[in-house]
Structure 1
Amino acid sequence: MEFTFYCKPFEELNNFEVYHLLALRQLVFAVEQQCIYLDPDGKDLNAYHVLGYDTEGKLIACARLLHDPKWPGYASFGRIISHPNVRGKGAGRALLNFVMVQMATLFPNEPIRIGAQSYLLQYYQAVGFQRIGAEYLEDGIPHCDMVKVNSLPTAG
């Protein structure tokens, strides 16, 4: 399957992009994972947003890149998801690879810290993240913090 990714600051997103972005996040977080919380938390306004599309122009993946106030001195990303219909087809890996290039471009040489769902540890370890600290619950789902040195990926 083929995917196309874009990265834009919030103020450059159009109404349709914002609508589809929030709809995808609600599909995954509220409906699928049953995490009931106010998704528009104010952080979107100062973040960059990665939007991934399939060949038919449907939004199939997204992520939010930012400086999260809870982790001073780190760049971060979150709200990273792929649509249930494209899981197992390479969308998640393609999204993470694109996110890593964008992080190195937007936040050069800044370490990255994320709060990862625990079942995704290996997914993030594959691109150089290391677990730090103990596991904790967030919205009833086990998470752990992870960090990574931020640099452009090398061919290998």
Structure 2
Amino acid sequence: MQNNQADINWQCARLDELSTAQQYAIFSTRSEVFVVEQNCVFQEMDGLDLDAVHVIGWAGDNVVAAYLRIVAPGIKFDEPSLGRVITSKNFRGGGAGKTLIAEGIRQLERIYPGQAIRIGAQAYLEKFYGSFGFKTVTDIYLEDDIPHIDMVRPAGGV
């Protein structure tokens, strides 16, 4: 069942600006997608969330439709990065993922103006991220047994 992305309210916040229920919803949804759906056993909460900026698409009280986090430059990559990108199952196929990436880029450029953006993308999403101006900069590598590539979007966009 697809939900209407017009019903999604976007928020950009640090973890300590979110309620306990909102934090729980985020981590529960991330675990549902990355650990359960992708059948991937790994430490999903990796220590980067406390200092990250979180972009959340809320579909009602504490229901995560889409989510990503922005990690500062020099933490995971030299560039600031978008990561932990998810669209919840009920919101896939309706444009929420595209809106999420556009909002993530907008927020990252507001926080870190004039900088390139790096992502560690699942390889099958190369064309999707390419549509936002990201260019592949590495060969395919395995991360948690899933093929990934690094992609960079130059400062200033496409």
CA distance in 1, matches of 2:144, 2:35: 10
| Contact persistence 1:78–1:114 (CA under 8 A) | yes
Q: Shift in Å at residue 78 of structure 1?
A: 0.3
TM-score (norm 2): 0.90
- Counterpart for residue 126 of structure 2: 121
Aligned-residue offset at 1:69: 2.1
Write out aligned runs for 1:6-155 (5 A): 6-54=11-59, 56-57=60-61, 58-67=63-72, 69-72=75-78, 74-151=79-156
Q: Which runs of 5+ in 2 are unaligned?
A: none
Structure 1 window deviating more from structure 2 (39-48 vs 62-71): it is 62-71
Q: Percent identity?
A: 37
Note if 1:5 corresponds to 2:10. Answer: yes
Distance in 1 separating the partners of 2:13 and 2:37:
26
**Between Structure 1 and Structure 2, how many residues are aligned?**
151
AA partner of residue 58 (structure 2): Y
Residue pair 1:75, 1:110 contacting (<8 A) in 2 also: yes
Within 2, Cα distance between the matches of 1:96 and 1:113?
12
Using the alignment, how far apart are the partners of 2:143 and 2:70 within structure 1? 19
Q: Could you tell me whether the CA contact under 8 Å between 1:105 and 1:152 is conserved in 2?
A: no
Provide the C-alpha distance between the structure 2 equivalents of 1:140 and 1:40, rounded to a whole number of angstroms. Answer: 17
1:147 partner amino acid: V
Alpha-carbon separation, structure 1, partners of 2:89 and 2:139: 29
**3-state DSSP class of the match of 1:128?**
coil
Unaligned runs of 5+ in 1: none
TM-score by length of 1: 0.91
In the alignment, the residues of structure 1 paired with residue 124 and residue 66 of structure 2 have an alpha-carbon distance, to the nearest angstrom, of: 19
> 1:124 offset after TM fit, Å?
0.6
